[in-house]
Homo-oligomer: A and B are copies of this chain.
Amino acid sequence: MRESIRCGVIGLGRLGCWHARNLASSIKGAELVCVADTVAEQAEKIARELGVSRWTNDPDRLLGDPEIDAVVIATPTVAHADLAIRAARNGKHLFVEKPLTRHLEEASAVIEAIRANRVRCQVGFMRRFDPAYSEAKRRIAAGDIGAPIYFKAVSRDPVSPPAAFIANSGGMFLDMAIHDYDAARYLMGAEVTSVAAHGSVLANDFMKALGDVDQSLTYVTFDSGAAGDIESSRNAGYGYDIRAEVVGTEGTLVIGSLRRRDVALLTSKGRTHDIVPAFPERFKDAFQLEMAHFIEALREGGTPAVTEEDGLAAQEIAAAAQASFEAGRRIELQEWRNRNR
């Protein structure tokens, strides 16, 4: 086994900083050697905070650094494809935040570069590493619910990101619902064959000008004969609400809880539990575990559990959902794929 994996992180927004912190302090076998952000001050600030000796505002310096084994790409989505391809060409292993790329056609180029340069890639679908999701997967595999026949997911953000973010996000289906498209494939052990997507603007009027929605619903069918539905919302208000269910022929698994801490307040107004306010609290362990898995896979020479192929599959569902929403009709994925070639 390799002694340790020397890592660089590109993009020091909220998620990039999380990954950097985890790599610097709590991932066994990882060494954070460089951080990059187009805003030099941010790169320097994070480097100092984490005791990292190198920082840069030029991603190419990080990508060209021969002492770096693996690169975490956590920039805005639009930059993913270009950075991923250049990293692969420099022989760096890749951890790419979701979605793999902004446009579906870019994804193929990324995958080609990964294969041509024989590097390995993990996509940031951290839910697979959440203890509840992975326990559910384990139980389904163990046959505890018989054959899975229906998948149901609800993902609600407390508030919408600002218009500037939404404008570059790729839209509700690519930016948000994609987590559940991946969870659906993971938990159902099946591929999506059709999507019918609906959406509305319920609370954020600025979405209309951007052609986006703040609430969506995707009905999906699977090649196993199963079906499912996925609600995504920017409008929860009360907190960060992530749930999933897998209905099986012999039992049903219910994943998730709103509960922030195990303390309840009882008064004459009722029994009140705090609600998980935002994604870092909900998925703190998952972010840590996905990165530990990535580093371990690299050290042991194995393939990460969530590859660029998984990234592509979920991205394709998201693109088809977007097309379905725009066309106002159901889309069969195989047919749509053929037409789009």
Contacts and interface: CB of A to CB of B under 8 A. Distances in A.
Interface of A: 25-26, 28, 131-132, 135-136, 139, 144-145, 149-150, 152, 154, 156, 158, 196, 198, 200, 202-203, 215, 217, 219, 221, 225-227, 229, 231, 233, 235-239, 241, 247-259, 261-275, 277, 328-330
A187 to B, nearest CB: 11
Contacts of A25: 26, 28
Contact of A26 (B26, B131, B217, B227): B26
B217 A202 contact: no
A140 to B, nearest CB: 11
A219 B217 contact: yes
A258 B270 CA distance: 9
Q: How many copies does the complex hold?
A: 4
A328 B331 CA distance: 10
Given A152-B231, A196-B196, A270 B262 contact: no
B28 A150 contact: no
Given A26-B25, A219-B217, A265 B251 contact: yes
A215 B150 contact: yes
A83 to B, nearest CB: 30
A317 to B, nearest CB: 16
A270 B266 contact: no
Nearest to A201: B225
